[in-house]
Structure formats: C-alpha cells, structure tokens
Structure 1
Amino acid sequence: MAYLNPRVLDLGLNVLVTETTRLHYCSDEPTTYAQAVSLSLGSKASPTIGAPVDRTPSGRKVTVAAVANGAATGAGSITHYALVDATNSRLLATRETAAAKAVATGDTITSAAFDVGIPGAGGA
C-alpha cells in the first residue's frame, strides 16, 4: 500500500500558510497569477489560513477562514477563489466557490471558510 508521511503533505500545504498574501474573488477560474489579478472582482489582504490537519478520507488540508470584510473593486459574479503570493507574482491555489455571488464595486465581500487539501497516497 502506498504511504506518504503527513510531514510530506504538510510541507506543501505550509506554502499556502506562509506565502499567501491575498485572497482574490474571481469571475472565472484563473490559471496564472496575472489572470487571478485581471479576473479579480475584489480581494482580502492577508487571509487567515490554519495549520495542516487530517483530511477525510485521507491526506491533509488547511482551512481558509471566513471573511467578513473583503473589498469589491469590480462588478460581476464571483465564481472562484484564488490564493496568491503577490510578492512573487504566484498563483498558489484556486477553487470554485460553493455558489456564485453577485457584487458591485464598493460592496463588502463576505465568504464562508473553505478547505484546500492534498489527498493521501491512496488517492481520494
């Protein structure tokens, strides 16, 4: 049976914890840092990301805390999150939101907590 020590998985997830400088709320799924910025309808500086913990059914995950005070800088429908390292112009992670959310320029953006995980060596 394949096995990866949690430390192996945690080191990858710790990049999110230590290098994420901004959470962008995007109108589509970005595949690069430049796209995350150009598709951004708003953002939250320095989002809170928890330490790696066990993921079900296997692997490890981190939780990005809920946001109550994101700032909308554009109008449209938020469909994706993007975690970026703005210092080094890196897209670190992206995922679809649970539901699309319409925003207008100047709105306060709120979002629920969400997980980013790495499956264990067995898959899933």
Structure 2
Amino acid sequence: MAFLADSVLDAALSEISSNAVALHICKQAPSSYTQATSTHSLGNKSGLSFDAAANGSPNGRKISTSVSNGSVSASGDATHWAIVSGSVLLAHGLLPASQAVTSGNKFNISSLDIRIPDAA
C-alpha cells in the first residue's frame, strides 16, 4: 500500500493556494488554461483566499475557499470551477451545485473544497 505524509499533500495544496490568480466558473470541465479562461469560462473572481490545509473527508487533506461577487462575463450553466495562475491551469472540479448565470451579474460560491485523497 502506498503512503504519502500529510506534509507532502499539504505542499501540493500550498502550490495552489500560494499561486492562484483567479477562479473561473465554467460551462464544462476545462483541460487547459485556454479552456478555463476563455473557451469554457462564464466568469471569474481574482484575489482568492484559502484556509490552511486541514484533514479532508473521508480522508486526505484539503484547502477551502469561498467566492463572493465574482463577475459573470457570459450567460449559461456553470457546472465546473477552474483555478489558474499565470498561464497554468492549477486545478479544476465540479461546483458544489450547478448555477445558471447571466452576463453582467455576479456569482457566489459559499464553500469550495479542494481535496487530495490519501494514497491507496
């Protein structure tokens, strides 16, 4: 069975929290920076703040953030989030709940966890 110390998982999560420039809401899962910031993006929020790494559920480690007053730039159904830095897609995943958004409005995400599970 593989094992990774919490400090190893925390280092990966620190890379995200220390270098995140913006969170984009997307109409589908992006596989590149361009898809996250352009092709699939419906809006974004910069100036993210993350909680310290903590135990994840059901295992692993996690960091958490929330978003208020993100800017919606295109109308559609936001189903995914993407976190970017410079020209790098750092992480992406499903939103806690799909959101119908309208260009010119604001979006909020009350709680978003980024979790790395324990090695198996």
- Does the TM-score normalized on the shorter chain lie above 0.5? yes
Deviations 1:47-76 (A, max 9, x none): 111111111232111112x22210111111
Q: What pairs with 1:101-116 in structure 2 (closer than 5 Å)?
A: 101-116=99-114
Q: What pairs with 1:59-74 in structure 2 (closer than 5 Å)?
A: 59-64=60-65, 66-74=66-74
Q: 1:112 aligns to what SS in structure 2?
A: strand
- Residue of structure 2 in register with 1:36 after alignment: 36
- Residue of structure 1 in register with 2:6 after alignment: 6
Deviations 1:15-60 (A, max 9, x none): 1110100000111110100000121111000211111111123211
- Where in structure 1 do 4 or more consecutive aligned residues deviate above 2 Å? none
Stretches of structure 2 that go unaligned for 5 or more consecutive residues are: none
User: In percent, how many aligned pairs have the same letter?
Assistant: 37
Q: What pairs with 1:76-95 in structure 2 (closer than 5 Å)?
A: 76-85=76-85, 87=86, 89-95=87-93
CA distance in 1, matches of 2:106, 2:27: 16
Q: 1:113 aligns to what SS in structure 2?
A: strand
CA RMSD of aligned residues (A): 1.2
Query: Which protein has the bigger strand share?
Result: 2
Q: Provide TM-score, normalisation by structure 2.
A: 0.92
CA distance in 1, matches of 2:80, 2:32: 13
The residue type equivalent to 1:30 in the other structure is P
CA distance in 1, matches of 2:30, 2:2: 32
- Residue of structure 2 in register with 1:48 after alignment: 49
The residue type equivalent to 2:58 in the other structure is P
The number of aligned residues is 119
Q: 1:48 aligns to what SS in structure 2?
A: coil
CA distance in 1, matches of 2:72, 2:58: 35
